Structure 1
Amino acid sequence: MSDTENKLVKAIKEKGKTMEAEMSFFDHLDALRWHLIRASIAIVLFTILAFIFYDFVFDVVLMGPRDPQFFTYRMLCKIGDMLGRPGLCIDKIPGKIINTEMAGQFTLTINSCLMAGITLGIPYLLWELWRFVKPALLDVERKSASGFVFYASFLFILGVLFGYYIVAPMSVSFLANYQVSKIIENNIDISSYLSTVATLTIGTGIVFELPIVVYVLSNLGILTAKNMRAGRRYAVVGILVVAAVITPTPDIMTMLVVTVPLFILYEVGIIVAAAVDRKRLRREQEELANHHK
């Protein structure tokens, strides 16, 4: 066979490998597309469910932090009574909720139902993403990450509850009661109120995924427990910045209420990173022992 024929055969083989890799890549894209489609369908179904029970979603859930009888405010009153500090009790949320746009109330219905659908659909979205990633993992990696959906969903739900019952009502109460001057009356646009509650609630749920992010980065070798301990002082500054962004109030008490759980999550992240480091070291030692055999 001549050199020209050899080069031709080699080029055909290389092209075949390239086409096979491209087909594999597009197959993965197609699989991911179907996972995302199923997750989108789930979110749409949850959105429709929220629309069916819209009176409950709007009057009880979304407007809850504006009700002086909201669970958080009642607990603050009880704590204030026990500590002898009646100032903790919140018995009124001033201000009037208004709509300033022609299609404002219709848009409110769509946005609030969609927000509820996304919040309820996040755990299913995580499950679909896990199903997509799972086949590419080794048996050891699959076993170590088997609880991903449960822990990620648990942390997200915990963050949403913390945002809804702690951060949102404290922010709403502070902002509604804050006055530059008594001659200024608060007429709060409904879209502004909804945006504030949604950002605080869903945003806190996302922030609570910090241990999962640490776990992934630790497995990739990007983050270690040693690095996280060394960077703790910088992390405190970062946590304060995040808390300031999450809470749209200059109230130091609200910021501290958000900062403490975030710092605890950072410490949990260090524990997670340390566990991953130990597993990696044990695996390397086993591989080294097998290599010597």
Structure 2
Amino acid sequence: MRRGGRERSMGFFEHLDEMRGTLIKSAIVFAIFAALIGYFMKEFNEVLLWPLHYVQAEKPTLVLELGTTTVMEGFNVVIQMCFLGGFILAAPFILFFVGQFVAPALTDHELRMVLPLVFMAGLLFLIGASFSFFLLVPSTIRVSIEINELLGYTLRWTPGSYYSLLTWLVLGVGAAFEFPLLIVLLVYMGVITTAFLRKYRRHAIVVIFIIAAVVTPTPDPVTQTLFAAPLYILFELAVFAGARVEKKRNERLRAP
């Protein structure tokens, strides 16, 4: 019998059939979004160029046009946009399908833990990606332009370099914003305590700035601080949430 009494017993091949259905539905949703991006490629490309156009609007005299340097660069950019864009847009649906697959095997208590966790994971990634797209990417482009102008270099950026920067920053920052969930999970599992986190708060600040230095491609302290500040706020929120989780876990363990 399955846990929680929510469904009947199933055999190994029935599980495989359910998994196959989950994978097929996920692949179909991904293919639909990738195809839509391919069909509206020009409009989608204009959206992704917003950070560059925003900085260009601040500098009316700036001459900067992206140009390809290899035969296949434009093709590679299209593949990158369709694949990554399709995956990001399809991710909420894929998580829903995976949740449908694993939910029957979870107890009611586990479901109450997993559902908010999945929702917060998606929300934090969206917040981090938006923060990067609207603030960090323009800041990075602005600093890069100023450095090139200071050194007297001619700007000859390629679409590949621009979209690599965009992908690294947006996905990297979105992933970095997930770390509060990891902290709360470790507290729930009893691996660490909130007292430990408070004791080593200064060390956490150093680690946060190291993460900011790794994720942000420019070495300027302004961009790194701009990224590190919300990470520290998230750390404090994780400590606060971890304290509540820790209290409930201890009460449950003390209960007869």
TM-score tier, shorter chain, comes to 0.7 to 0.9
Alignment pair present for 1:199 and 2:168: yes
Taking CA–CA contacts closer than 8 Å with sequence separation of 6 or more, which of the two structures ends up with the larger relative contact order?
A: 2
Q: Distance in 2 between matches of 1:151 and 1:99?
A: 39
Q: Which residue of structure 2 lines up, in the alignment, with residue 5 of structure 1? A: none
Deviations 1:224-276 (A, max 9, x none): 32222223222111110111122111221111110010001111111222122
Alignment pair present for 1:117 and 2:91: no
Letter in 1 for 2:31: V
Flag structure 1 segments of 5+ consecutive residues without an equivalent: 1-22, 74-88
Match of 1:64 among 50, 53, 69: 50
Alignment pair present for 1:273 and 2:242: yes
| Residues 1:29 and 1:173: Cα distance change in structure 2 (over 3 Å) | farther
Query: Given that residues 127 and 174 in structure 2 are in contact (C-alpha distance below 8 angstroms), is that contact kept between their aligned partners in structure 1?
Result: yes
Alignment pair present for 1:216 and 2:180: no
Q: Which residue of structure 1 lines up, in the alignment, with residue 35 of structure 2? A: 48
Letter in 2 for 1:272: A
Letter in 1 for 2:34: T
Alignment pair present for 1:169 and 2:156: no
Matched residue of 2:143: which SS?
Answer: helix
1:13-28 aligned within 5 A: none
| Residues 1:91 and 1:214: Cα distance change in structure 2 (over 3 Å) | farther
Flag structure 2 segments of 5+ consecutive residues without an equivalent: 1-10
TM-score, structure 1 as length reference: 0.75
| Residues 1:252 and 1:246: Cα distance change in structure 2 (over 3 Å) | same
| Residues 1:116 and 1:131: Cα distance change in structure 2 (over 3 Å) | same
Alignment pair present for 1:234 and 2:203: yes
Task: State the Cα RMSD in Å.
Answer: 2.4
Query: Given that residues 93 and 173 in structure 1 are in contact (C-alpha distance below 8 angstroms), is that contact kept between their aligned partners in structure 2?
Result: no
1:106-145 aligned within 5 A: 106-145=75-114
Deviations 1:8-29 (A, max 9, x none): xxxxxxxxxxxxxxx75x8766
Matched residue of 1:101: which SS?
Answer: coil
Query: Given that residues 55 and 138 in structure 2 are in contact (C-alpha distance below 8 angstroms), is that contact kept between their aligned partners in structure 1?
Result: no
Using the TM superposition, give the Cα deviation of residue 154 of structure 1 relative to its aligned residue in structure 2, in angstroms. Answer: 1.3
Using the TM superposition, give the Cα deviation of residue 30 of structure 1 relative to its aligned residue in structure 2, in angstroms. Answer: 6.2
Deviations 1:71-117 (A, max 9, x none): xx7xxxxxxxxxxxxxxx65565533110111111221111122211
Q: Distance in 2 between matches of 1:28 and 1:160?
A: 35
Q: Distance in 2 between matches of 1:94 and 1:176?
A: 11
Letter in 2 for 1:64: W
Matched residue of 2:79: which SS?
Answer: helix
Q: Distance in 1 between matches of 2:196 and 2:113?
A: 22
* Count of residues in Structure 1 that have an aligned counterpart in Structure 2: 245
Letter in 2 for 1:52: Y
Alignment pair present for 1:181 and 2:169: no
Query: Given that residues 94 and 176 in structure 1 are in contact (C-alpha distance below 8 angstroms), is that contact kept between their aligned partners in structure 2?
Result: no
Matched residue of 1:67: which SS?
Answer: helix
Alignment pair present for 1:35 and 2:5: no
Deviations 1:19-51 (A, max 9, x none): xxxx75x87666555434433332221111111
Deviations 1:110-129 (A, max 9, x none): 11122211221222233233
Letter in 2 for 1:109: V
TM-score, structure 2 as length reference: 0.85
| Residues 1:47 and 1:223: Cα distance change in structure 2 (over 3 Å) | farther
Letter in 2 for 1:223: I
Query: Given that residues 55 and 141 in structure 2 are in contact (C-alpha distance below 8 angstroms), is that contact kept between their aligned partners in structure 1?
Result: no
